[in-house]
Structure 1
Amino acid sequence: MENQKRRAPMIHIGPMILLPLLALAASASTPGDGPDPVIGIDLGTTYSCVGIFKDGHVEIIPNEQGNRITPSYVAFNADGERLIGDSAKNQLTSNPKNTVFDVKRFIGREWDDPMVQKDVQYYPFNIVKKNNKPYVQVQIGGEERMFAPEEISAMVLGKMKEIAEGYLKHNVTKAVITVPAYFNDAQRQATKDAGTIAGLDVQRIINEPTAAAIAYGLNKKGGEKSVLVFDLGGGTFDVSLLTIDQGVFEVVATSGDNHLGGEDFDQRVMDFLVKKHKKNTGVDIRKDNRAMQKLRREVEKAKRTLSYRHETRIEIESLINGQDFSHTLTRAKFEELNMDLFRSTLNPVKKVLKDGDMKASDVDEIILVGGSTRIPKIQQLVKDFFDGKTSGYLLQLVYSRTIPRLCNEAQLKEYLDRMNNETFLSSGGYQFFAHETPLPNLSPSYRCHDLQTEDSDLLQDRSSCPWYYIYQKDPLRFPRFILNAHPKHGGCYANDNSLPRHCRDLINGGPNPNGVCEKFEIEVLTFKKKLAGYVINLYKSNRMSEFKGTYGT
């Protein structure tokens, strides 16, 4: 019977999916829309963001650039001015010694920690020992200053506070903050201290994996479930095994590596390119901090591109000594350089299964969290580890709305609301929604032609077109639908009004009184870019009829 167990879906959740839960937990402290709201902050290694519970839902607040994620960067210029976020990251190449980032890797750690000693050689800013702790050393207005990791994190948290206050038009003092599940007491306390320094009363420190599971709405699905959360971000990696029964979560086991993520993958590529450049020219880029940070910036861009392309070209004008730099990086080479790191992500998976006395076949749901899970090889390794059980579920868009649950303090409503700009589909090397492209609410008024792709050229080759799904579930207001598209196979399952009528008519060739689509085949013929959007030509066939349709603007 075990072999007949249904395949466990693998679900993608973007880096900001944790924010809804934060504001939810915050609402437990201040029910209603009172004068003293609680903000939720996702303090990430590379990016951070802030949300607020308002008018019955959660809003992810954009910064002054209009972005809902803010780089966890702090910079100090020659005039002593402090920059935080996008403006700080923009100074990385011109002011590398005074631009600080990735401090989450140091927070709550001792100086003699092997990971700290390994890291100090890679960063352009100085990291020094003080009170047996790693401190950041920078120049501010010609004066040398040292900051603890908590102080730098406090500056980022202060920026999140400022963003929220600018949006709400009044002061904010209370917050909840996420941390990896494996953070020890010292790291958790240091994070809380950072909040205090930032002028925040930290109501709660929340584990990220449980937040992700609730954000997906698994606590509202019937029956007992085993859930594995695979959270691979920019600088940390976390795996948690949970069981959920009647909305009650139990963390069975956790494991991870707070020194593994996208930054490490970037570093492997940088090391390779530095050695190659030195061999070809005799010039060592490592001796020039500005050149290294230029390379870091372009390598990060290349890594992102390789999630949906098989190769990309890294070009840097006047990298060092007035010489331009150019190199074609393939996905195969990127995977080769990082394969040992990619494979090491399975070790915590094995550990939590062993600690939980479970087998891979016992896992009902697999949730992929964090930007680094967009890497196709990571997806493939997870899929292969679970014996292909994730086949057909590589791509999912999750949009959760009002979901009530019971809190320890009192019975009250809490809400989940997936932020629009972070919904994306990514697998098999293809992205169907750009990382920061807003997506309309998935409701009965949702229009099929609002779908967008990041690059229309990706789908010209029908043989390589991957599955894509759209998933909506609102247990209080709307039912669920899934729309699958594949060159050879597809299916649609809809209830009542969850699929818009004109979309349903297009797919079925006519209204279905039961509101349920039968199994059918869809072939994606082309994605043609237009001035106002994209056109998706679909070909539908079955034994009895043929139907052609176009989704487009």
Structure 2
Amino acid sequence: MTRELVLGIDFGSASTIAGVLVGSRIELVQDAGDSVIPSVIYVPDRGDSVVGRRAIAHQIAEPSNTIRSVKRLLGLDSSSELVRRFAASTALPLDLTTPRPMFKLRSGAQAPEQVAAAIIGYVRTLAEQRFGVRIRRAVMTMSAGAPPGYRDAIIRASKIAHLELVDLIAEPVAASLALDLHSYPGNRRIIVCDFGGSTFDVSAVVQQGLRFTPVGVGGDHLLGGDDLDDALANTIAGVVYKKTRYDMTREVTRWTELVLRCENVKRQLSVVENTPLAMREAFTADGKRQDLRTVVDRPFAERAWATLMHRVREVIQDLLVRTGWAPEDVDLVGLVGGGSMIPVFQATVASVLPADRIRRADQPELAVAQGATLLTARHSRTSSELPNLVAT
């Protein structure tokens, strides 16, 4: 009998992570040896699209043909304020005259669902190549506070990618499994803070034995790792402008490269106090192209992110008010998502919630996908004792 594998997928704005359950072991899908698969697609004027790691290089060379952060558009109408803000922050031409936003590429128009489908389909293909079986079904996570149209949009995208979605799980619930709380049955009030590439989601979850029930959700859908990159790039561009009167934001290719380099700086500052930033021919001064060479330290970056961290604090405080929980009522605070590795984010959470009750997932960037993969056991022949999850 041919074995059946069900794919667990965390479809994110910056990256997509997926895995399968082999026995009781989680095996993650890999793209060029890395389990973090960029949610990036390059659509050339002619020929096949390029997805994942191979698409990254095209972001600088052809930013108007390279799409990232498509998750931010799924399920939204063209009239949405979130869509207008997305359009203002990207080099991609968007058609907002139709009911739903469309990417206006030189090869033709594409809907966000089509772009998402290309990424999901690529991940499915990688999984089939690695595990040697055809994969038809998947469990996928979604933001607890996703827009009303998101569920239908991601289901459509999955169908285009030849995947049946057998379950859509709230990301904080999946994260609770990755924190291994199901191994320690008990009665707890839990706050899960998921700081991902495009959104900051915070959820209040009540654990009763092996039963996890979300009782409140909050979030900011324009607050994620991408926004930290933009804020840092804007701050550096501001310094350059003050010294040279050259506006780096007006040249699409240079600006895209600066944002990508700031993403790398952000990651480095999660583990070191300062890191160099170098960019060839970044700006013009005295009629000549000049290289940008500087060292960015944590205090500089944290000043650039101060407004964003204030919004993190507000989201958590608002959730506490709506659930009626005081900070001391919270038994455990779980941190997941790649952004949770940033020290100033951890300090911001600790300024609102008890610091001694904060637990960061061992691999926070992978946590939600790991939880989704564990939940695939409910839809396969694998027998496993799993918690009883109640959806919001």
- The answer, yes or no, to whether TM exceeds 0.5 is yes
Give me the CA root mean square deviation.
2.7
Query: SS of the residue aligned with 1:259?
Result: coil
Query: Against the structure 1 CA distance between its residues 40 and 414, is the aligned structure 2 distance closer, same or farther, given a 3 Å change threshold?
Result: farther
Residue type of the partner of 2:209? Answer: Q
Distance 2:374 2:235 in 1: 48
1:239 and 1:255 in contact (8 A); partners too: yes
Q: In 2, distance between residues paired with 1:347 and 1:302?
A: 26
Tell me the residue number matched to 2:146: 183
The answer for the alignment partner of 2:265 in structure 1 is 302
Residue aligning to 2:56:
89
Change (3 A) 1:403 1:40: closer
2:255 corresponding residue in structure 1: 292
Q: Is the Cα–Cα contact under 8 Å of residues 58 and 415 in structure 1 kept in the other structure?
A: no
Work out whether residues 332 and 359 of structure 2, in 8 Å CA contact, stay in contact via their aligned partners in 1. Answer: no
Q: Highest relative contact order (Cα 8 Å, sep 6+), 1 or 2?
A: 2
Instruction: Return the match for 1:369 from 331, 336, 339.
Output: 336
User: Structure 2: how far apart are the matches of 1:210 and 1:76?
Assistant: 35
Q: Which amino acid aligns with 1:103?
A: V
The amino acid across from 1:166 in the alignment is Q
SS of match in other structure, 2:169: strand
**What's 2:384 paired with?**
413
Work out whether 1:200 is the aligned partner of 2:163.
Answer: yes
2:43 match? 76
Instruction: Work out the number of aligned pairs and report it.
Output: 377
| Unaligned 5+ runs, structure 1 | 1-32, 417-553
Which among 319, 332, 343 is matched to residue 352 of structure 1? 319
2:336 touches 2:361 (CA, 8 Å); kept in 1? no
C-alpha separation in 1, matches of 2:124 and 2:215: 34
How do 1:68-217 residues align onto structure 2 when only pairs under 5 Å count? 68-140=35-107, 145-217=108-180
CA contact (8 A) 1:56 1:415 kept: no
Q: TM-score, normalised by structure 2?
A: 0.89
Matched with 2:390 is none
Contact 2:201 2:218 in 1 (8 A): yes
Amino acid at match of 1:189: D
Instruction: Return the TM-score normalized by structure 1.
Output: 0.64
Give deviations 1:337-379, integer Å, cap 9, x for gaps: 2112112112222222222221111111110011111111111
What one-letter code is carried by the residue in structure 1 that aligns with 2:234? D
CA distance in 1: counterparts of 2:45 and 2:282, whole angstroms: 23
Q: Which structure: greater helix fraction?
A: 2
AA of the residue aligned to 1:95: E
Cα deviation digits, residues 48-78 of structure 1 (max 9, x gap): 0221122332211212x11111100000234
State whether residues 404 and 412 of structure 1, in contact with CA within 8 Å, keep that contact through their aligned partners in structure 2.
no
Secondary structure of the corresponding residue to residue 111 of structure 1? coil
Question: Is residue 278 from structure 1 mapped to residue 241 from structure 2 by the alignment?
Answer: yes
The residue aligned with 2:290 is 323
Equivalent position SS for 1:50: strand
**What residue number does 1:242 align with?**
205
- Pick which of 151-160 and 393-402 moved more: 393-402
Question: Structure 1: how far apart are the matches of 2:375 and 2:44?
Answer: 47
Unpaired stretches in structure 2, ≥5 consecutive residues: 388-392
The 1:176/1:406 distance shift into structure 2, 3 A limit, reads: closer
Q: For 1:506-535, what per-residue CA distance to the aligned partner results, in whole angstroms no more than 9, with x for missing partners?
A: xxxxxxxxxxxxxxxxxxxxxxxxxxxxxx
Distance (Å, rounded) in 1 between the aligned partners of 2:269 and 2:375? 40
Tell me the CA shift for residue 35 of structure 1. 3.4
Aligned equivalent of 2:29: 61
Larger radius of gyration: 1
CA separation of 1:245/1:83 partners in 2, compared to 1, >3 Å: closer, same or farther? same
- What SS does structure 2 have at the residue aligned with 1:231? strand
The equivalent of 1:343 in structure 2 is 310
| Per-residue deviation, 1:406 | 10
